[in-house]
A and B are shown apart, each in its own frame.
Chain A
Amino acid sequence: MFWACLLFAAGTATLPQADARPAGSSAADPLVPDSVLALPGGPTLAVERASGLAVAGIRISAPLDPVWSSAVRVLIELALERTRAQAEAIGASLWGGIEGGRMAYQVVGDARDMDELAWIARRLAALPPNESVTAALAREEARLDRMAETPQGRLALELRRRSGSGRDRRRPVVTAGDIREVWRHFHARDRLRVFVLGDVPMPWILADLSRVGAPPRDGSRTGRAGQAFELSGPAYRPAPASGTPLSAWSAAAFRLGPAGDAAVMAATEALRVGLREVAAAHGALLRLHEEPGDAAGWMGITARASRRAESDAALRAALALMTEGSLDQRWRQGATEVRRKLADAVATPESWLSLADRTFASDPGDSSGWVRGALNQLASLRREDFAPVLLEFQASLFFPQIDG
């Protein structure tokens, strides 16, 4: 309310104490938010005033730092559980999950239901009640155990261990008290970004959404926040696989670079296209796995065949796609495919919010940021932009054992 009064008094052109960066030419570009406000103590607000749009959408996200996707997944599951009925009642879409190294919630519905949408958004980022925590923890633990039973699940767990620098190999938190600590850290207001899409006045946004989540961490107003969040608990050791596997599995894991980088996106798409050709030539089942919790872009390839020699051969052929000569043949196609996908995805309000978060730039005038910047970069990629991608691939490549 404080900010609302302030803005009523001062107008949106001046935002004392808040770092307000209205986007210069972006006001006419729907792929760049109109304004980004960094409020003291958080959150950071990115607002796109979409005149005449029948819907309004809100997204709240925070970095996975440290990466502890199991614990965060429990929080997200609880948040969705307690808001699903309200969203369903107004025909709103509700989503929560992990994308590009961030945890996020979003809700999109009729613009006339904006008060309810804001209420749902606040509840999504609120502390879960104790009574629902135990069941959610048990479900997450069962999910991890199920993952450990399949080769592909074991690869995902291995990628998670790598992306978490060893910390995510812990079991999910085991008490409601732990969940409270995780919530307090991950949902601290100074870590949150709030995106608003719709024909919504700024005073309303500040009044309803400037106090979402947990209180800011100590020192966040002075820019000195950031005490490391320590994880505790025993290491998670999946039970060894039992029985004789029906197929032979081979796997490789690697990084290509930051997940939002244009060259990495194009190379990943080129790899995806190439894998289809390799799979057809080798008669093996090849799959690309990406770890959404990791902004650094860990990914893996699994090859499944009836015999080990075949799965190994298919994997070798797949990895040969990440050589200079092979990438030369495919990167343009990869870049075109990614541009097409982005162009299609950005049209829906839900995807607009997701893409704005993934391409966020603290300065709206940054021409390399936002969806517009990503599209421009993809259009202007050059061959030499892929050199760091190949170096990262070679430096990070390893071969996890996943078939028991």
Chain B
Amino acid sequence: MVLVVATMAAAGLLVAANPSPVAPETPKGLRGTAAREPTVFQQNRPLTIVREWAAGTAVVLAFPLPPPGDAQAALAARIADRALLAALRDATEAHAADIRLERDESGRYFVATTATSREVDKLLASMQRTAASRLPAPLVSAAAEAVAHDLAFRGTSPSTRFDAVLAAVVAGLPAPQPTVEAANPDVAASEAAVPPATRWGSPVWVVVRASSPREGPGQDSQTHPRQGQGRAQVAPNTRVPSRPVRTEVPADVVTTWVGSAYRFPPETPLEHARFFRLLLEGWIEQLRDPSLYEFSSQINASGQLVVRLSTNREEHARWEARLDDAVSAIARSAEGPQEGPQARMVAALLRRARGIWSRRLANPGDAAIIAADALLRGVAPDQAAAMVQGMPSPPSPDEMAATAGAIRLTSRVVYGN
């Protein structure tokens, strides 16, 4: 059994090591259309999850994404992330830790992993000092230059354009929005130098580590039962348009990109939404043929399921229909007998999803990201911790059918010819 423990475990030590960092204020509008304000953690107080067995220790620092449509903030975030990553690597050089940056549609995650639990407090303290300090000018300059090169190389690519349009449409903004190239790089670089823990709102810290034999699994800790997680919900109670918004953007390209955003009912548990995403991915995988180039999905910061696919231009309508049919088929799967082909497929894909999710939870870095993602969505710390403890329990096929029946397509973007 995994023990999930002790939020704020190292608080006393860390406050002593790093006295009185200024409590940050969330910049105005930073969260954009995000579901809820994230749980406000006092700086330097990590959610610590202790496992009976773990071959590695992970420390995650998470920030929310900049608001959709704010090109200046988006560029500053890209520069700041790159500079902060370099600064964190410099600051933690003595700890034999590997640090990487992951970004998705819910947040920005700096993940440090190390093979030892012994130095985790020192590693955490080094990372916290760096996040609370002004980023060194040479690192910011180097990051700004690297981002400029990246934009020159990739900024005008069709997939980047598609992503910008999709993000704007999903956020309810008039498309197209200015992309990051439109932002002033000098202003962005000066914004990026501001201490990250101040500029980007209260950082979320999560630690996943093994219990030490000296400490024992139960000391200064409490067990968080998994049943608590049902209360963590995915989506805010926002208005759903009566008809999905369809946006077609003509472009002289040989590939067609299709993005679809689905709104979950507000009471949907976050874990159901995650399993539904995996279920839908599995369903589409079964239908895959060479005309489907890419398929991916994420649950964004505002709790919408965003599905992206790219096809050759003759086939996009067929794949749109297949996606819609997949959602309908999952919704209908509970209607017939349990031995029916659709019910069997949902049950089989749920088992596949369970395996995939278990493998993510077994990785301390991924588990810490999952917990941090939940905290950024406003989930309570004990619920966030419970989500990554022990064996995941997938929803039942009936619950998945109910979720599929209740989600609503809110927008669709077709980019291409």
Contacts and interface: CB of A to CB of B under 8 A. Distances in A.
Interface of A: 28, 30-31, 50-55, 88-93, 108-113, 336, 339-344, 346-349, 352, 371, 375, 379
A347 B1 contact: no
B96 A339 contact: yes
Nearest to B278: A91
A51 B1 CA distance: 7
Given A343-B113, A344-B98, A347-B365, A90 B56 contact: no
Contacts of A88: 352
Interface of B: 1-3, 51-58, 93, 96-98, 100, 113-116, 210, 212-213, 348, 351-359, 361-365, 390-392
Contact of A52 (B52, B58, B114): B52
B56 A51 contact: no
Nearest 3 CB-CB pairings of A with B: A91-B355, A347-B56, A344-B98
Contacts of B212: 28
B115 A113 contact: no
A163 to B, nearest CB: 30
B82 to A, nearest CB: 18
A23 B145 CA distance: 52
Contacts of B3: 52
Given A343-B115, A375-B96, A110 B53 contact: no
Contacts of B116: 343
Contact of B362 (A336, A341, A349): A349
Contacts of A52: 1-3, 51-53, 390
B55 A111 contact: no
Contacts of B54: 30, 347
Contacts of B357: 91
A28 B353 CA distance: 31
A339 B361 CA distance: 24
A349 B53 CA distance: 11
Contacts of A349: 55, 359, 362-363
Given A51-B1, A52-B53, A340-B96, A347 B359 contact: no
A54 B390 contact: yes
Interface of B, secondary structure class, is: mixed
A54 B392 contact: yes
Nearest to B53: A50
B359 A109 contact: yes
B52 A89 contact: no
B224 to A, nearest CB: 13
Contacts of B53: 30, 50-53
Contacts of B354: 91, 110, 112
B356 A91 contact: yes
Contacts of B356: 91
B58 A347 contact: yes
Given A55-B359, A108-B359, A336 B52 contact: no
B391 A336 contact: no
Given A90-B351, A343-B113, A352 B98 contact: no
Contacts of A109: 355, 358-359
Nearest to A55: B362
A54 B53 CA distance: 10
Nearest to B213: A28
Choose among A53, A92, A93, A113 the residue with the greatest number of B CB atoms under 10 Å from its CB. A53
B198 to A, nearest CB: 29
Contacts of B391: 54, 110-112
A339 B96 CA distance: 6
A158 to B, nearest CB: 34
Nearest to B359: A55
A31 B3 CA distance: 20
Given A110-B359, A112-B391, A340-B97, 18 more contacts: A30-B53, A30-B55, A50-B53, A51-B1, A51-B52, A52-B2, A52-B3, A53-B362, A92-B359, A110-B354, A110-B391, A113-B355, A339-B96, A344-B98, A344-B100, A347-B56, A347-B365, A349-B362
